[in-house]
Structure 1
Amino acid sequence: MIQPRAPGAPKRILVADAGGFGRKLVFDVLDGDGYEVDCVGDGDGTVAAVACGDYDLVVMEIGGPFLDSAAAIRRIRALPGPHNRVPIVLLTGLTRIESPTFAMHGADELLLRPVSLADLRAVVTRWTSPDGALSG
């Protein structure tokens, strides 16, 4: 059972990325901004972490070698309780995306790499704020 967080506790973010420089950069920026950040490297790990954790946001890579983002998102959206409503922001370096809807597969937002640190921070703040993107 997930225990409620203490008032004022940092927002929790799950970074789902197969690794490398991109994952380290996202982790370092968000951790440095005061978020509690966990990282996973594959789809199964992503779904398991969301099912067991109390995350405020998932930042997920599209097209990684060990991460089928579409399948992971479908499985997250099928989870019971509040876990299936966690906001999901996708990151991709793909230069050609046929359709934003196809690319997102049920995610809430799509960021194209290279993403500026200001844009990353703005999106994370929007989705983790109390009156964030979910309310409007």
Structure 2
Amino acid sequence: MRILIAEDHPDNREMLTRRLLRKGYEVHCAENGAEAVEMAQSCAPDLILMDISMPVMSGIEATKAIRNTPDVSNVKIVALTAHAMESARKECMDAGCDDFATKPVDFAGLVALIEKYAA
């Protein structure tokens, strides 16, 4: 399974990359929302882990852009955010995210979520 991590914080990006590679996933990374939109088209991920608060283009804006791009509009997108309120979840889902996970990341829970979409 090919996963695109869209995360602006280098420590978070590195931790997720390292741990997902150990689990056998192919991992690509974007540092902002605009890069995520470009890379969604170039690396054709099966799933995107989308940080919501990023520079250049937010995860919400990037999700909407991906949903409006025919070649990648159906890719699964999981929002990652430190905002655990129901309003944040609703905003992510309304933008087109398929699921929602909070930070700090519960890695076992995240892997279970990824596996749900791999099936």
Find the counterpart in structure 1 of residue 114 from structure 2. 124
Alignment check: 8 A CA contact 1:18 1:66 kept: no
Q: Cα distance, 1:37 vs. partner?
A: 0.1
**Structure of larger gyration radius:** 1
The 5 Å alignment of 1:35-46 reads 35-46=25-36
Q: Share of identical aligned residues, percent?
A: 30
Structure 2: which amino acid aligns with 1:42? N
Find the counterpart in structure 2 of residue 48 from structure 1. 38
In terms of fraction of residues, the more helix-rich structure is 2
- CA separation in 2, counterparts of 1:26 and 1:36? 12
TM value normalised by structure 1? 0.79
- CA separation in 1, counterparts of 2:92 and 2:2? 25
Structure 1, unaligned stretches of length 5 or more? 1-10, 130-136
Deviates more, 1:59-68 or 1:83-92: 59-68
Question: Helix, strand or coil: the match of 1:100?
Answer: helix
Q: Cα distance, 1:29 vs. partner?
A: 1.2
- CA separation in 1, counterparts of 2:57 and 2:13? 13
Find the counterpart in structure 2 of residue 30 from structure 1. 20
User: What is the CA RMSD across the aligned residues, in angstroms?
Assistant: 1.6
Structure 2, unaligned stretches of length 5 or more? none
Find the counterpart in structure 2 of residue 115 from structure 1. 105
Find the counterpart in structure 1 of residue 78 from structure 2. 89
Assess, with a 3 A threshold, how the Cα gap between structure 1 residues 49 and 125 changes in structure 2: closer, same or farther. same
Question: Helix, strand or coil: the match of 1:85?
Answer: coil
Assess, with a 3 A threshold, how the Cα gap between structure 1 residues 120 and 71 changes in structure 2: closer, same or farther. same
- What do residues 64-117 of structure 1 show as CA deviations (whole Å, max 9, x unaligned)? 234411111111001123x11000001111254525221332100000112211
Find the counterpart in structure 2 of residue 134 from structure 1. none
TM value normalised by structure 2? 0.89
